[in-house]
Amino acid sequence: MQTQDLDKRKQKILSAIIKDYQSSAEPVGSRTISKTHLPEFSPATIRNDMADLEEEGFIVQPHTSAGRIPTDRGYRFYVDRLMKRVHPTHREEEIVKTTLRKSIYNLDEVLHQTARLLSHALDYTAIVVNLGSQHRLFSAGTSNLLHQPEFRDLAHMQKMLELLEEEELLSEIVEEYSQPEEIAVKIGSENKFKPVKDCSIIVSSYQINDERVGGIALIGPTRMFYSKTVSLVDYVAKELSRVLGEV
């Protein structure tokens, strides 16, 4: 949580920059914000506030263009203070329930299907770990990284692919970040694990009889759609816990 607060107008501008950048992956300028998101404010007013936001570390100018992009600090403020969760639709809930129940008596299969379900729904890489006596890791959506402009650089992509082959490290990340009844959002530089400092990770645990037995993680760019991702990971983890508790 940021100790520093922002006035309402700056909050709206920061939120607009994040939402636009999440969709476009391109730096956002004051004219775009004024025209698309906040027509009640002039581009000049927005530029002044953007300068303040940059000075305070919430956004940064990556090139000499007029556009800005959010920093990890900006995303953290958004997740903690501004984000409104986008809850799963009724159809999404039904797909989750149906998928999990198909393989209810085969733990490995249900965890594999959970990873596939999340990676398909969110277009990020999904990791599901069983931390019990039969330690297993299931992943899906590695190729989804190719859909993200951040990872199209060959060297960057190679590092990510190497990371996703390190099952021991991935298990350690999920185990470290997953806590009972909580969902963790680790943004870029907040990650204690160096290989994922350019990514954001959303992690939740799943339980059997109130005992944590594993974790679910989504790995994607810091530009990820947090409102949707947090809600769906949380819902799937709780539904998985419920289904496994009935077996």
Sequence spans of domains, the chain: 8-82, 90-246
- pLDDT value, residue 4: 60
Annotation: CATH topology of 8-82: Arc Repressor Mutant, subunit A (1.10.10)
- pLDDT value, residue 74: 98
Q: Is 145 in a helix, a strand, or coil?
A: helix
Calculate the CA 95 to chain-centre distance: 21
Per residue in 61-102, pLDDT tens?
A: 988 777 999 999 999 999 999 999 999 999 999 999 999 988
Q: What is the mean pLDDT, run by run of 10 residues, along the chain of 247 residues?
A: 73 97 94 94 95 96 86 97 93 93 86 94 94 86 84 78 88 90 93 90 92 94 95 95 86
Top CATH class of 90-246 equals alpha beta
Selection from 116, 115, 149 nearest residue 217 by Cα:
115
Under a CB-based contact definition with an 8 Å cutoff, are residues 196 and 176 in contact?
Answer: no
